[in-house]
Amino acid sequence: MFGSLLRFYRERAGMTQEALGKYVGYSKSQVAMVERGERPPKGKLVEIADEVLSAQGALLTAGKKLRAPRFPSWFEDYAELEAKASAIYMYANHVIPGLLQTEAFARAVFTQESPPYEEDELEARTAARIERQRVLRRRPAPVVGFVLEEHILKRPIGGTHILKDQLAHLLEMCQQRNITVQLMPTNREVHAGLNGAMILLETDERRQIAYAEAPGGGYFVSEQPYLGNLFAQYGILRAQALNPEESAKLIYEVSHEL
């Protein structure tokens, strides 16, 4: 809501995002992110914008109710579906998925964001990610499957000690009856997922839907034949990956090499 108001008063004043940014010490892209609700305003943006845009206190009033967002605006619809899903299947190719992350690892991942999060936003995003993991312990328990690229087990985001704890946590997740973790070895000569990461859901109403992310946002796939193709692709990935027992053994070996 604040972002929409800011955009309304900026456009009414005939001012560009770049011009407003010069007043408040923001780049054009940072102003755009505030207007889209992806970043909360920091510094004196609220006060300065209210004055230069002649908002007559409207932005000041709206700014009093601001808090650091738990999720990016484009992720909220997915998070709502995930929390109630009967089945969740993920293929990850660059980082251990959020549902499997420790708090320290999640915080380390969020510190890589550019431009960097403010401290309160960093903590809000980290807490929200850990809160998401409640779905893994929900009753009735969802069926959850992961196919992870082997190389992401070796990327020491946050440092080796954080990665070692993360791998120990991953091994614990492998022992949960409703969770299956499989690794895709780096030496495989065939690979059904070269077009990128994906998430497949079966909703609480048993409706199938797919979700994918790209820089700056995410999108759903719900139409055939594209949806069916993604579910078939994930099935092939599972067949190409190591089985759960072999995967757990490899996770243990990587952890003890750190």
Per the CATH hierarchy, to which homologous superfamily does domain 2-63 belong?
A: lambda repressor-like DNA-binding domains (1.10.260.40)
At 84, the amino acid letter reads K
DSSP string covering the chain, please? -HHHHHHHHHHHTT--HHHHHHHHT--HHHHHHHHTTSS---TTHHHHHHHHTT-TTHHHHHHTT----SS-GGGHHHHHHHHH-SEEEEEESSS--GGG--HHHHHHHHTT-SSPPPHHHHHHHHHHHHHHGGGGG-SSPPEEEEEEEGGGGG--TT-HHHHHHHHHHHHHHHTSTTEEEEEE-TT-S--TTTT--EEEEE-TT--EEEEEEETTEEEEE-STTHHHHHHHHHHHHHHHSPPHHHHHHHHHHHHHH-
pLDDT tens, per residue, the chain with 258 residues:
888 999 999 999 999 999 999 998 888 988 998 898 877 787 788 999 999 999 999 898 888 777 666 777 778 889 999 999 999 999 999 999 999 999 999 999 999 988 888 888 899 899 999 999 999 999 999 999 999 999 999 999 999 999 999 999 999 999 999 999 999 999 999 999 999 999 999 998 999 999 998 887 889 999 999 999 999 999 999 999 999 999 999 999 999 998
Buried b (16+ CB within 10 A) or exposed e, 133-149: bebbeeeeebebbbbbb
The whole-number pLDDT of residue 237 equals: 97
For the entire predicted model, the pTM comes to 0.76
Tokens of 203: 């909703």
Instruction: Give the distance between the most distant pair of CA atoms in the chain.
Output: 64
Domain locations along the chain? 2-63, 73-257
CA distance 226 to 257: 41
CA distance 191 to 183: 12
DSSP string covering 160-222, please? HHHHHHHHHHHHHHHTSTTEEEEEE-TT-S--TTTT--EEEEE-TT--EEEEEEETTEEEEE-
Question: Which residues have CB under 8 Å from 115's CB, separation 6+?
Answer: 30
For domain 73-257, give its CATH number from 3.30.870, 3.30.2310, 3.90.1580, 2.40.30: 3.30.870
